[in-house]
């Protein structure tokens, strides 16, 4: 049975889930917290780049885990000088 993880390396947090959906929900919650902080001080914490979701390796070694989703910076549609951060599949192209 595949297991999935959500990891926020910068904060030393890693949770394992039975479904990808649950791991992505955790990532969205974590991203929401980062977004709230960014709104308060006007800057994204660089740690947001360390938020990933993926498949737990059968070996049990975290180094072998497969990252399926990671955070990406995307331009803000309303403000050309601003950007947002979203979690996307690793193979998805970021809008220009």
pLDDT digits (tens, 9 = 90+) for 34-84: 999 888 888 888 889 899 999 999 887 888 889 999 999 888 777 777 788
Tell me which residue of 11, 1, 6 sits closest to 54, measured CA to CA: 6
* pLDDT tens, position by position, 22-37: 999 999 999 999 999 8
The dihedral sign for the CA sequence 10, 46, 34, 20: negative
Give the E-state strand segments of the chain in sequence order: 4-8, 13-17, 51-55, 66-75, 83-89
Task: Write the CA distances from 75 to 65, 83, 90, integer angstroms.
Answer: 29, 4, 18
- pTM given for the model: 0.85
Q: What is the pLDDT of residue 96?
A: 53
């Amino acid at each position: 049975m595949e297991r999935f993880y959500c990891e926020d390396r910068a904060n030393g947090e890693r949770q394992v889930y039975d479904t990808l959906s649950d791991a992505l929900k955790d990532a969205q919650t974590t991203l929401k917290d980062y977004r709230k902080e960014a709104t308060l001080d006007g800057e994204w914490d660089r740690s947001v780049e360390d938020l990933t979701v993926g498949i737990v390796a059968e070996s049990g070694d975290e180094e072998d885990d497969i990252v399926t989703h990671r955070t990406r910076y995307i331009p803000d549609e309303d403000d050309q000088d601003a950007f947002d951060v979203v979690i996307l599949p690793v193979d998805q192209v970021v809008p220009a």
